[in-house]
Structure 1
Amino acid sequence: MKQTIKHKFYKSLSLFALAGSLVLTGCEKYLDGTQLPAGTIGAEDVYVNDNMASTVVTGMYMNLTNTAGYGGGTGSNLGYILALYTDEAKSTLSGNFADIVYKNAIQSSESPYWSAYYKMLFVANAAIKGINDSPAKLQYKDQWLGETYFLRALFYFYLVNLYGPVPLALSTDYTVNNRLSRAPAADVYDQIVADLKLAQSMLPADYRNGYGAATTSRVRPNSAAATALLARVYLYMGEWAKAEAQATAVISNQLYDTVSLDKVFIANSKETVWSVAPKTASAAYEFSFYNNGMPATIMPPQGPNSFNVYSTVSDQLLNAFESGDRRFNEWLRVVTIPASGMQPTKTLYFPAKFKSSANNAEYQVPLRLAEQYLIRAEARAMQDKGNAAEDLNVVRSRAGLPAVQPATKTALLTAIARERQTELFSEYGHRFFDLKRTGKLDEVMTAVAPAKPTTWKSYMANWPIPPGDILSNPNLTPNPGYAK
């Protein structure tokens, strides 16, 4: 793996400048107050007080909305990209990056996120070392460390699910990192678990801002956020009892509850376990991706592309909704293009989980309570527990659907998978990761491929590693199927 931030850079420019440069206009949402002081000092002096430590950590949150998965560009947003890559969305414009992703044609030189996550891992590793080694008495040391362990776990969660086995870089020593081979996925997951357990033990039960003060804002993780991500990780690992226990801890927490469909993504809703705010005051990025002022009726020759909207909901997702599912009307938006000339009337559907054009009215919500019910339902089903359907029915009830009690374990797991498809669509890769972890990816994508049109091949389950990193690291092997 190429260490993109060199040792010389670290010494001369300083970590504080690197992270502080990311603390832009929107950082007030993470701080709940005036911006922290910014400047450039030597890396060894970064952690002399809580304000400076907080600035480094806040910089990592800000970078989440730049290039690390929750960005406002369609090429830097995991939910958008992975909806196209699988069977949730379809492209409306040929030739752009979204269309390349839709056709499962990502090339080595185009692979997103790899470099962004390893850059952020460098910052996280430096922060962990710097905070631990700081001679200063940091009042909120546990918070800064807990948040950093949480973020490092998150970065590795996405890396291992997008790329398969990946190098485990846990230090800032580029001479070591530049020669790391790929660690088995099991080892990566073990590290994620270790980091999340540390985050659980260090983060407060309530939400805190960038000054360590209690806040109603849920844009920095608390201990329950670490627990929620750990529940997901255990589910992916097949540790059913542990996944159930962690999900139960979140579900039983009085800070959280399910809310009506129209309020799920409102900033700091009670369903939110952890959210990501835009980097500047704006509407939620998903509102721009799928709405952007596009009217309910588009007069030809205009189409969605005229409003910079380049993907629609796929037929596969539309067909997954049961009759009477309120999410179909509440979380999907219908746009009609009247007949013109030889062209018949077109009816298109777009994700509409985010509805407001107002600044900061809605946030991205990578961790929310409904997922925890579905995690616990699946974990209980895998343990043959009779109460698994109860959790499934909590989510179904909110959607206006009748309770079910499937007669067999297979039928129950199928019902849970379908519920995950219709509840979590377009949210940060759930569908892609679910298909991979349950062994259904090849089956589903082979059936979908002709409509794209493309040819699905099994190697596409893992994305290509950038060739520059492979060239600079003699121990880093490429993923099969891609050019070096």
Structure 2
Amino acid sequence: MLAFMLALNSCDKYLDNTPLPLSVIPSESLYQSDKLVASVVNGIFVSTTTAGAFSGPTFSDMVMVSGMFTDELRNLVPGNNFDVFYKNNIQPENSPFWNDFYGNIYIANAALEGIQSTSANLQFKEQWLGECYFMRAFLYYHLVNFYGGVPLAVTSDYRVNNRLSRSSEELVFKQIIADLKLAKNLLSDGYRDGSGNSSTKRVRPNKAAATALLARAYLYAGQWQEAENEATEVIQDANYALESLNKVFLAGSKETIWSLANGEPKTNAYFKAFNNGMPAVLTGNQTPGTFNIFGVITDQLYASFEPADERLNSWVRTVKAEASATRPETIYHLPNKYSSNVNDAELTVPLRLAEQYLIRAEARAHSNKNTAWDDLNIVRKRAGLAAIQTGDIMVAIAQERRVELFTESGHRFFDLKRTKQIDQVMQNVSPLKQSNWKSYMALWPIPNVDLFQNPNLTPNPGYGQ
């Protein structure tokens, strides 16, 4: 407690965009004022959004490892730590996210209990509760997509949590949906900062963010009408609009529903991962590795764009390595969604409006509604493409999701699994990656230490203990 209070006195600056570090486990005494509660809730955000899963050029970043794992990114440095993902050879000891996400779920559970039970008069009580429910749902959404059915820990009682068995994917999505419904009812229409005050920055979840994630959860759960309804609610909200391609990821973009605060003034993590000041022409002994660039777009992803697609010009960057005595001329294509080296000019955006159109298109297509084409064509029009109205609508939506949402939040990996296309795709690309794809690899291994500590926790098939 003393360590927490000392940290609190020097961390007021974190309360707008960035939460406090999670070096101290919350206790009941931390829920006696909005400022103290803010520090606990903010800790969930900083630990989740500035840690490995969203940190850009690291070996545990979600975009990097899921892109390497599927057919989005090619590893440029064979033998490095990305290779276990690129070669589809993940082992329990290098399986990411599990521990970090469950650690933050524990903090969210403790915060929910503390906020609900406190006798203090909290001005922003509903906001804090809504944010905790939202973040718990956000974390479970990723866990279930990477690991399948997972233990549902919804209290801070470690004696219970350490003996939980796995729940089915269906039950996990029910919990996600239930949490998001609560968050939607609790969160405000406008955006707030880390102190609970109104803000123009979209770095904390609001009602629309909960609605958008709920639309996604309903889609994944196969509840088409509910997915359509939630997506429609966001689409009809005048606070959100599709931006031109070069403005989508800028701070202040009207397309942003929820973005991740950088935590401190710095360039975006994915600018560092895929640009980092690398020139358009590499000379002499320069390679992408010279600029700490380890992954580039695969030929398969690049070829999937239609020639007239303006996303090729705006969101894909071409770099040429000149021929030398040791290499032929080489062309690389890199994601360029984040292209500014200016601090805080761009923010990572897990929820944006274009996805809501594609969610509604897919939900309507499953319900045999012709209006699915209308939503699809809205996204195509923004990319400079002609409208389409014939053919297999589900194939068209899958294609549009691939070129619209590439290298964002693991969408490609999750889409391939939920549409049951992953085996076909990975069997085609695995020879190019010098990997040996097996169906069980679609679920990642649970860390052995958790299996050892919890006798009721079973491993995913295919991974020995």
TM range (shorter): over 0.9
CA contact (8 A) 1:27 1:62 kept: no
Q: In structure 2, do the counterparts of structure 1 residues 315 and 197 end up closer, same or farther at CA, with 3 Å as the change threshold?
A: same
Counterparts of 1:76 and 1:416, CA distance in 2: 29
Q: How far 1:36 moved relative to its partner?
A: 8.6
Q: How far 1:43 moved relative to its partner?
A: 1.1
Instruction: Point out where structure 1 has 5 or more consecutive residues left out of the alignment.
Output: 1-12
Q: How far 1:482 moved relative to its partner?
A: 1.1
Q: In structure 2, do the counterparts of structure 1 residues 188 and 308 end up closer, same or farther at CA, with 3 Å as the change threshold?
A: same
Q: How far 1:213 moved relative to its partner?
A: 1.5
Structure 2 residue 394 is matched with structure 1 residue 403: no
Counterparts of 1:340 and 1:262, CA distance in 2: 34
**Aligned residue number for residue 8 of structure 1:** none
**Aligned residue number for residue 467 of structure 1:** 448
Counterparts of 1:250 and 1:129, CA distance in 2: 30
The more displaced of 238-247 and 335-344 is: 335-344
Among candidates 384, 398, 408, match of residue 368 of structure 2 = 384
**Structure 2 SS opposite 1:46:** helix
Once the two structures are superposed, residues 68-110 of structure 1 have per-residue CA deviations (whole angstroms, 9 ceiling, x without a partner) of 6212442232112111111001000122221221111111111
**Aligned residue number for residue 65 of structure 2:** 81
- How does the TM-score come out when normalised to structure 1? 0.92
Once the two structures are superposed, residues 445-476 of structure 1 have per-residue CA deviations (whole angstroms, 9 ceiling, x without a partner) of 01000111101111110100000100010100
The one-letter code matched in structure 1 to 2:136 is R
CA contact (8 A) 1:312 1:349 kept: yes
Structure 2 residue 91 is matched with structure 1 residue 107: yes
The one-letter code matched in structure 2 to 1:466 is P
The one-letter code matched in structure 1 to 2:253 is S
Among candidates 396, 403, 408, match of residue 415 of structure 1 = 396
Counterparts of 1:318 and 1:468, CA distance in 2: 39
Counterparts of 1:160 and 1:89, CA distance in 2: 23
User: Percent identity between the aligned chains?
Assistant: 49
Counterparts of 2:42 and 2:26, CA distance in 1: 18
Instruction: Point out where structure 2 has 5 or more consecutive residues left out of the alignment.
Output: none
Q: In structure 2, do the counterparts of structure 1 residues 324 and 340 end up closer, same or farther at CA, with 3 Å as the change threshold?
A: same
CA contact (8 A) 2:71 2:301 kept: yes
Matches within 5 A, 1:159-174: 159-174=143-158
The one-letter code matched in structure 1 to 2:347 is Y
Q: In structure 2, do the counterparts of structure 1 residues 105 and 29 end up closer, same or farther at CA, with 3 Å as the change threshold?
A: farther
Once the two structures are superposed, residues 165-217 of structure 1 have per-residue CA deviations (whole angstroms, 9 ceiling, x without a partner) of 10001111111111100011111100000000000000000101122221110
RMSD between superposed Cα atoms in Å: 2.2
Structure 2 residue 359 is matched with structure 1 residue 375: yes
Q: In structure 2, do the counterparts of structure 1 residues 64 and 91 end up closer, same or farther at CA, with 3 Å as the change threshold?
A: same
Matches within 5 A, 1:289-328: 289-328=273-312
The one-letter code matched in structure 1 to 2:460 is N
Q: How far 1:39 moved relative to its partner?
A: 11
CA contact (8 A) 1:24 1:280 kept: no
**Aligned residue number for residue 216 of structure 1:** 200
Q: In structure 2, do the counterparts of structure 1 residues 458 and 24 end up closer, same or farther at CA, with 3 Å as the change threshold?
A: farther
**Aligned residue number for residue 436 of structure 2:** 455
Once the two structures are superposed, residues 307-365 of structure 1 have per-residue CA deviations (whole angstroms, 9 ceiling, x without a partner) of 10001000110011001000011100010011123632111100000010011000000
Counterparts of 2:361 and 2:22, CA distance in 1: 46
**Aligned residue number for residue 189 of structure 1:** 173
The one-letter code matched in structure 2 to 1:483 is G
**Aligned residue number for residue 112 of structure 2:** 128
Q: In structure 2, do the counterparts of structure 1 residues 320 and 40 end up closer, same or farther at CA, with 3 Å as the change threshold?
A: closer
**Structure 2 SS opposite 1:149:** helix
Structure 2 residue 413 is matched with structure 1 residue 432: yes
Among candidates 450, 457, 461, match of residue 476 of structure 1 = 457
Among candidates 115, 133, 136, match of residue 149 of structure 1 = 133
**Aligned residue number for residue 422 of structure 2:** 441
**Structure 2 SS opposite 1:274:** strand
CA contact (8 A) 1:17 1:41 kept: no
**Aligned residue number for residue 14 of structure 2:** 27
CA contact (8 A) 1:26 1:280 kept: no
The one-letter code matched in structure 2 to 1:414 is V
Counterparts of 1:63 and 1:40, CA distance in 2: 12
The one-letter code matched in structure 2 to 1:94 is P
Counterparts of 2:162 and 2:385, CA distance in 1: 53
CA contact (8 A) 1:68 1:117 kept: no
- How does the TM-score come out when normalised to structure 2? 0.96
CA contact (8 A) 1:297 1:335 kept: yes
The one-letter code matched in structure 1 to 2:459 is P
